[in-house]
């Protein structure tokens, strides 16, 4: 549920916008704004209402799982980081583009670039989890592999795991990125209905015409179903799009480039080194209540970071 005094929030300081997102859980509600996350007891508030979209978890707020500041020259700094949260540590690892280097050989500039990439991922996750959309700055998030030793990664860097985590936050539909494109396959979005909030288009090939998604990113969403029905979802209720690829995107127009929020994944994880090797469990399926609680705190903090900083994109591409 969203409350806001204005729909425009993507490119401005959220302190001026008063956007709030409410997460409903079994035992309480969290209200997220740019300034804070507040826990509300159902029994003592008007939020104990029927027909709310409730996550089937019992949660409690921890001390802030991360605190981020931004300097006058645009540098981000983490003043607090709870590395006990496995998914946060995973995102830190996927933003580490210097992991092959000896510590004494890593420059301050390179460390700052790693931080920028992490903040970009966290804000992008917050954007995807926030139902509110802005007609002045529509975006699709594109998760890409970095180059390693002159070649693009072969995948397995963690991009799809971010798509998987979105399933737990909002209703999400996955589409095989190799099943054509909306220009050539009129049933490309056949699996969608009006309740879907996020679309994951997984593993698009190098030849995928990214411009074919332009209308779906910036306008109403037209869905043709194989049964013959056709629905149109207005922009403000249309799902957001998360795309993953381990190939370089085809060159497109400047306007289309402005609709793509690119985040980059290092090759810290690869076909030889998987997250379960580091954490001793398979994410989501084998988490205990402690990790689930930290996960939900992380999701709320991601939304807060997006409301605070907007669409953060790395200042340098790791190529």
Strands 172-176 and 151-152 turn out to be unpaired
For residue 177, pLDDT beyond 70: yes
CA dihedral 278, 297, 201, 311 (to 10 degrees): -110
Q: Which domain holds residue 220?
A: 2-309
Residue scoring higher pLDDT (44 or 153)? 44
Please report whether residue 319 resides in a domain.
Answer: no
Residue 247 banded pLDDT, cuts 50, 70, 90: confident
Predicted TM-score (pTM) of the model is: 0.91
What is the number of domains present in the chain? 1
pLDDT at 6: 37
pLDDT digit string, tens, across residues 182-214:
888 889 999 888 899 999 999 998 889 999 999
Angstrom distance (rounded) from CA 94 to CA 268 = 6
For residue 10, pLDDT beyond 80: no
Residue 226 banded pLDDT, cuts 50, 70, 90: confident
For residue 150, pLDDT beyond 70: no
Nearest in space to 313 (alpha carbons), one of 119, 120, 114, 95 = 120
pLDDT at 12: 40
Please report whether residue 315 resides in a domain.
Answer: no
Instruction: List the structure tokens of 246.
Output: 């381990």
284 touches 87 (CB < 8 A) = no
Please report whether residue 314 resides in a domain.
Answer: no
pLDDT digit string, tens, across residues 88-130:
999 999 999 999 999 999 999 999 999 999 999 999 999 999 9
Please report whether residue 317 resides in a domain.
Answer: no
Angstrom distance (rounded) from CA 290 to CA 62 = 11
Please report whether residue 167 resides in a domain.
Answer: yes
Please report whether residue 199 resides in a domain.
Answer: yes
Please report whether residue 316 resides in a domain.
Answer: no
Which CATH number do you get for residue 206? 3.40.50.300
Average pLDDT of span 65-87: 94
Average pLDDT of span 2-12: 41
Please report whether residue 7 resides in a domain.
Answer: yes
């Amino acid at each position: 549920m969203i409350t806001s005094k204005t729909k425009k929030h993507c490119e401005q300081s959220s302190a001026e916008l008063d956007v709030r997102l409410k997460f409903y859980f079994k035992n309480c509600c969290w209200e997220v704004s740019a300034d804070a996350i507040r826990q509300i007891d159902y029994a003592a508030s008007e939020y104990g209402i029927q027909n709310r979209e409730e996550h089937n978890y019992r949660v409690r707020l921890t001390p802030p799982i991360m605190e981020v500041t931004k300097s006058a020259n645009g540098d981000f700094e983490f003043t607090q980081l709870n590395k006990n949260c496995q998914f946060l540590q995973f995102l830190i690892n996927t933003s580490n583009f210097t992991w092959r280097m000896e510590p004494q050989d890593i420059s301050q500039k390179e460390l700052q670039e790693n931080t920028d990439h992490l903040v970009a991922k966290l804000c992008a996750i917050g954007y995807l989890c926030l139902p509110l959309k802005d007609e002045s700055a529509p975006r699709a998030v594109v998760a890409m592999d970095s180059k390693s030793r002159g070649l693009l990664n072969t995948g397995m860097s963690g991009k799809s795991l971010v798509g998987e985590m979105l399933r737990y936050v909002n209703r999400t539909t996955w589409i095989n990125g190799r099943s054509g494109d909306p220009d050539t396959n009129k049933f490309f979005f056949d699996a969608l209905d009006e309740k879907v909030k996020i679309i994951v288009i997984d593993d698009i090939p190098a030849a995928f015409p990214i411009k074919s998604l332009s209308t779906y990113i910036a306008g109403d969403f037209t869905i043709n179903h194989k049964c013959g029905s056709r629905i149109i979802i207005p922009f403000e209720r249309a799902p957001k799009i998360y795309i993953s690829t381990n190939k370089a995107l085809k060159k497109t127009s400047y306007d289309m480039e402005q609709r793509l929020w690119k985040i980059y994944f290092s090759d810290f994880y690869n076909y030889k080194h998987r997250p379960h090797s580091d954490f001793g469990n398979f994410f989501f399926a084998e988490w205990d209540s402690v990790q689930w609680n930290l996960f939900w705190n992380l999701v709320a903090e991601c939304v807060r970071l997006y409301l605070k900083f907007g669409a953060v994109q790395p200042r340098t591409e790791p190529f």
